[in-house]
A and B are shown apart, each in its own frame.
Chain A
C-alpha cells in the first residue's frame, strides 16, 4: 500500500499563485447555487488546494497528481469524521490496493492535537493532515457538512464526491477507488451509485424453481413418481419453467411415455428454439419411434452437431439412428466418439 506515512509530503512548495487560485475558486463557488460537496461532477477538474501539512509542507492539487486521492473534510474530534475514517481505513486495508498509489488527505480547520491524531487513526493508515484554518478549502469544495469525502483520480479530476454520513460509504468509496484505478467502468460505477436492485423473480417463479429442484433431487434418488408429481407442480406455478419441462420429459422418456415426453420437449423448444437438450430429447423420442420419424431425428441431431461437434449425447443418438438404419460400422464409430468425449469430459472434471 502506498499511503503516505504520517505527514510525509507528497507536496512541495506552495506558491502565491495557488493561494490566489484557491481564493478565486472559493469566491466563484459561492456564486453557484449548488449546495454541498456533491455538486462536484465526475470528470471535473478538482478545485485547487493550497494548504500546508503539520510539518509545513505544501499540500496542493498539483502535488497530488499521479496519485489517487481520498480527500476528507472533517475534524479529528468530530464523531462522524471518526466513524467515516474508520470505514475508509477498513476499505484501504484490503489487499487489492497494494499495487495502487492511494493518498489520503484530511482537511481540518482546527489544529490537531497529537493525542487526537493517535486516537483518530488507531495506529493504522494515517492521513496527510492539511490545515485549513480559514476554511478556504472547505469553501472551495462547498463543504457544508462533515465529513465530506472527495475521491480524485490520478489526473486531478473528480471521481466522486460524497457526504461521509451515507450508509453505503464503504461500498461507494471502494467502487470510486476501483474506477480511479481503472478497474471499474463508468457504467459499473453508475450502477453501483444507484444501487439498482437485482431483478427479483416473482414469488411463484421462485417457488416453481424450488419445487423443480426438489423434483430433480427426487429423480436423482430414484423416486420417479414423486419427482414427476413435483415437476408437474412446478409447471403449474410456472408454465415456462424449462428445467421442469426437461426433467419431466426425461422421466417420461425413461418410462417410455413417448407422446407425453414429446409434448414436454416441444414446450421447451417453443420457448427456446435453440435448446440443445430439448432438441436431442425430441430426437431421442423420434428415434425410439423409428420409421419415418428417423429422418427428422437425424436432421435435428446433425443440426446440433453442426453447432457443437463435441456434443457427446448427439453422437450417441447418431449411433442409435445408424443402428436403426442397419449401419453397424457408422453406429460403432458414433458410439466410440460419444464415449471418448465423455471420457475427456470426465478427465477434465
Chain B
C-alpha cells in the first residue's frame, strides 16, 4: 500500500507529508473528523495503536491511504504534547513536516498552496477516496474549489477542461513554465493538436502567434463563447492585431462582403499556416470562386456575376486571372472604388482619357501603350507601326478599355468583347473581331469594318483623334 501510494505521489510526496502535519494539528486539537473521539475514555499513555474501532479507526478505512496511516505509524507525524490530556502536536512545523519525507525540488512557478506549505489544501493527510489522497476528485471539483471560474456557462469548453483534467496542462505543484503549465506553450497545445504543426510546404507561411507558440493570443485555453474557444469571433478578433485592415474597413466606401459574413477572415485565410502568402486558403482565382460561383448580391443591391461560370465558358482570360492574381485589380478587404477596385477606373463606356482616370489598368499595363502614337515594341494592336490603342483612347469621347475588352474573360483573343452596349435600351452592337496572322479586324456598329496589319499596313480613312485629354 505504502509503495503504491508513493508511486502515485511521485515527485510531490512531500506535500502529502506537509498535509499530514497540518491536519495533525487539527487532530491534536480534537477536530479530526474521520477519527471521531471515542466514547470511552481517552488513553493517557502510549498505546499499541491509535486506529482501533472505537478510536481513530476511520482513518484506515479510506480507499487511498497515506503511507504512515496505512502502516498505523501515527508517530511518524504526531507526538504527544500532553499525554494525560491526550493532546498531540506535529513532530515539526506544518510547512516542514511533509517535506521531511516528500522532498521535491520546486521549479520556478509554484502553486500557491505549495508555496505556503498548505498541502492540506488539496490532500488529506491520512487518506481519501481519491488518488493522491486528494480531498476531492481531481476531475470533478478539486481545482474549482479555489479556481471558481464557471467554465460550464460558456458555449465552447476546451476538452480537458470539460472532463476536469486540469493536470493535462497544469502541474499541481510547480513548473518551469508560467501558469504551472506542463510544457512550454509552443509544445503544450500541439501535444494534442498535432495537426496544427505545419508540415512541408505548409510551413512556408505561418501566422506569427503560431510561430511564437502563442496560441492563447487567439484562443482562450479554458472556454469562451466563440467557436474554437476564440477570444472573440472573427473579424473582431483578427482586427485587434491587424490594425491597418481595421482602419481600411472603417474608412472605405466599399467593403468585401466576405469579411463580415459567415466565417469572416477565416473564409479566405487559414488562421494557422498556409503554403500561400497572406495565409490564403487556396490560390486565386479558386479562392475567390469558392464564393463567386453564383450570382451574389452586394449590400448596395447590385447583383454580381457568377464568375466561375463566366470563366468556365470564356477561355480567353485577363492576365491577372490566368496568373492567379485577382487581387491585382480588386482589394480583398475594402476599397474606395466600385467593385473593390484597387485604383480608379471609369465605370462609363465613353470617357476622355487621362492616366489618373485609367489608373487601374496602368498599374500593370505600360502607359506608352496608349500614350505613344507609334512604336513596334508597345502592342500588337498596330497597323504598321501606328498604335491603334492610342487611336481609340485618345479622343474627346474616348473609349475606355472596357469598351473593347471584357475585364475578366471572353471567347475572343485578348479577351475582346462579343458586343458593346448602345444606348440605354439594352441594345448590343456586335464587334465581330477576327484575328489574322499579322493583325485582325472588326466590324462593329461604332464604325465601318476596319482591318489592321502589323507587317503590311492597311490604308484607313483619316480619323486622327483629338489630343484633348491626353497628358
| Contact A134 B165, CB 8 Å, known A80-B363, A168-B276, A210-B159 | no
Interface string of B263-292 (1 = CB under 8 A from A): 000000000000111101011100000000
For B159, the closest partner residue in chain A by CB is A214
Query: Which of B8, B193, B284, B438 makes the CB contact (< 8 A) with A210?
Result: B193
Query: Which of A36, A139, A167, A226 makes the CB contact (< 8 A) with B278?
Result: A167
| Contact A168 B160, CB 8 Å, known A198-B201, A218-B168 | no
Chain A stretch 179-206: residues in CB contact (< 8 A) with chain B: 191-192, 195, 197-198, 201, 206
20 more CB-based (< 8 A) A-B contacts, given A135-B366, A135-B368, A165-B364: A30-B380, A31-B438, A33-B435, A38-B322, A109-B368, A134-B375, A135-B375, A143-B366, A145-B319, A166-B323, A166-B324, A166-B325, A167-B284, A168-B324, A209-B195, A214-B192, A218-B165, A221-B167, A223-B139, A223-B165
Closest 6 CB pairs of A and B: A135-B377, A213-B192, A139-B377, A145-B364, A165-B328, A163-B323
Q: B-side interface residues toward A, CB under 8 Å?
A: 8, 131, 139, 159-160, 163, 165, 167-168, 191-195, 199-202, 204, 275-278, 280, 282-284, 319-320, 322-325, 327-328, 363-366, 368, 375-380, 413-414, 435, 437-438, 454
Query: Which of B159, B325, B365, B377 makes the CB contact (< 8 A) with A26?
Result: B377
Query: Complex formed: what's the CA distance from A167 to B276 in Å?
Result: 8
| Contact A226 B165, CB 8 Å, known A144-B319, A198-B202 | yes
Query: Which of B280, B325, B379 makes the CB contact (< 8 A) with A163?
Result: B325
Contact between A171 and B168, CB atoms less than 8 A apart: no
Query: Complex formed: what's the CA distance from A33 to B437 in Å?
Result: 8
Query: Complex formed: what's the CA distance from A134 to B374 in Å?
Result: 11
Query: Complex formed: what's the CA distance from A226 to B165 in Å?
Result: 9
Q: A-side interface residues toward B, CB under 8 Å?
A: 26, 30-31, 33, 35-36, 38, 79-80, 109, 132, 134-136, 138-139, 143-146, 162-163, 165-168, 170-171, 191-192, 195, 197-198, 201, 206, 209-211, 213-214, 217-218, 221-223, 226, 230
> How many inter-chain contacts with C-beta < 8 Å in the A-B complex?
127
Contact between B363 and A79, CB atoms less than 8 A apart: yes
A146 partner residues in chain B, CB cutoff 8 A: 364-366
For B365, the closest partner residue in chain A by CB is A145
Contact between B319 and A163, CB atoms less than 8 A apart: yes
Contact between A136 and B325, CB atoms less than 8 A apart: no
In the complex, 18 of the A-B residue pairs with CB atoms within 8 angstroms, ordered by the A residue number, are A26-B376, A31-B438, A80-B363, A109-B366, A135-B377, A139-B376, A165-B323, A165-B364, A166-B323, A166-B325, A167-B280, A195-B275, A206-B195, A213-B191, A214-B168, A217-B191, A221-B168, A226-B165
A213 partner residues in chain B, CB cutoff 8 A: 191-194
For B323, the closest partner residue in chain A by CB is A163
B139 partner residues in chain A, CB cutoff 8 A: 223, 226
Query: Complex formed: what's the CA distance from A158 to B139 in Å?
Result: 64
For B332, the closest partner residue in chain A by CB is A167
Contact between A170 and B377, CB atoms less than 8 A apart: no
Closest chain A CB from B279 CB (angstroms): 11
For A33, A146, A197, A218, the residue with the greatest tally of chain B CB atoms inside 10 Å of its CB is: A197
